[in-house]
Amino acid sequence: MKKITRDELIKNNKPLIIAGPCAVESRTQIRTIAKELSKMGVKILRCQLWKPRTDPASFQGVGLRGLRWIEEIKKEHNEVLITTEITDKDQIGATKGIVDILWVGARNMQNYELLKAVARDSRPVILKRGLIATVDEWIRAAKYIGLDKVILCERGIRTGADSMRFTLDVNGALVAKHDHRMPVIIDPSHTAGRADMVPYLAYAGIAAGMDGIVAEVHHQPEKALCDASQQILPEVFRQIIENVNTISQLKYQKRPVESVDFSLQERDLSKQLTKKPARTLLSLGVRDRVGLLRDILTVFADFDINLTKLKSKHSKLKGLDYYFEVEVESAAKEKRLTQALKILREFCPEIKILGEY
Ligand code: PEP
Ligand code: MN
């Protein structure tokens, strides 16, 4: 078996596409799904042989005997890579030579003895985020394995929101990717818990710049032995891949993480917040009358324009008695100022804009 490294998996700037059923159920089932997925160019298959289930009475996976079927698939589909969740130390050795990428599931993210055992193996590892794990706990778990071997998988966490099975924590995924510089893929299937929402969550993850997706695909979802409600048909997945590839072409995502300087963005933002509002200096030529200044001030107040300076000067021009030099807190073209000036023209025969700064 040709050895593959974590960096080789994510190096080509194309989203990593991983798919397969929730569980390997039978030889025919996994071969049928593998065939469909290979046809559409999927290069990494999830082939789960051991299933950590909440209910001990439910299907627990086919176990070791499924390894033979996986071997066959690898022979039939050249270059296909296999990822399998391991739930016990013994499975690490047992899958050697067949499984290319190890996988630690959400429930075992903090099974430190398992993580240490995985660390002794050289294969890349998909590390799913625990159901209520913080990003910090997730990263520290990855450190047990070795950060350079790990691809993190955001699979939704438990929050107060219960509209779907879990809540996709895009924020957490972004922090893991940008602050900790880790590759992150997202699992829209376990997040959603329902097939119809899987595409949108996949797109959300890719639009956020994540490195790929891992989705549950089954040729007969209604007959699936676990997670039947969230598994999607191969033809739906084909569409998802197309859209995911299109979304991932967005320019901003091509920018390497290293070039994103968040501190700069923060500085820009604070500059923006402390930026002084624009000011305009006006000259209003007027004819003297009782109450004129009050009327002028009322118009500015009516349009919510703050006055920062006011000076009056005698005019030597015929027809004008005074000039009021007024500095206002507004850009010259701002609608409220142009509207105020329109009204002021009724009692100020000459209005000039002296400057804007
Ligand atoms: C799975 O991917 O099949 C699975 C069990 O997911 P999780 O560990 O995220 O619950
Ligand atoms: Mn599942």
How many angstroms is it from 231 CA to the middle of ligand 2? 8
Per-residue pLDDT at 319: 84
CA distance 176 to 73: 34
Task: Name the nearest CA neighbour of 104 among 79, 135, 138, 134.
Answer: 138
How many angstroms is it from 59 CA to the middle of ligand 2? 12
Per-residue pLDDT at 254: 52
Tokens 């469909």, located at residue: 36
- Please give all residues whose CB falls under 5 A of ion ligand 2, grouped by chain where several chains appear: 22, 227
User: For residue 353, what are the CA distances in angstroms to 20, 173, 180, 329?
Assistant: 69, 52, 53, 13
How many angstroms is it from 66 CA to the middle of ligand 2? 17
For helices 198-207 and 234-248, angle between their N-to-C axes, nearest 10 degrees: 20
Are the beta carbons of 98 and 68 closer than 8 angstroms? no
CB neighbour list of residue 306: distance below 8 Å, 6 or more residues apart: 300, 328, 329, 330
CB distance 155 to ligand 1 below 6 Å: yes
Ligand at shortest distance from the CA of 109: 1
- pLDDT tens digit at each of 357 positions of the chain: 789 999 999 987 789 999 999 999 999 999 999 999 999 999 999 999 999 999 999 999 999 999 999 999 999 998 999 999 999 999 999 999 999 999 999 999 999 999 999 999 999 999 999 999 999 999 999 999 999 999 999 999 999 999 999 999 999 999 999 999 999 999 999 999 999 999 999 999 999 999 999 999 999 999 999 999 999 999 999 999 999 999 998 866 655 544 444 454 444 455 544 456 789 999 999 998 999 999 999 999 999 999 999 999 888 888 899 999 999 999 999 999 999 999 999 989 999 999 988
CB distance 6 to ligand 1 below 6 Å: no
Helices then strands, counting H and E runs in the chain, come out as 14, 12
Per-residue pLDDT at 264: 46
Ligand at shortest distance from the CA of 107: 1
pTM score, whole prediction: 0.73
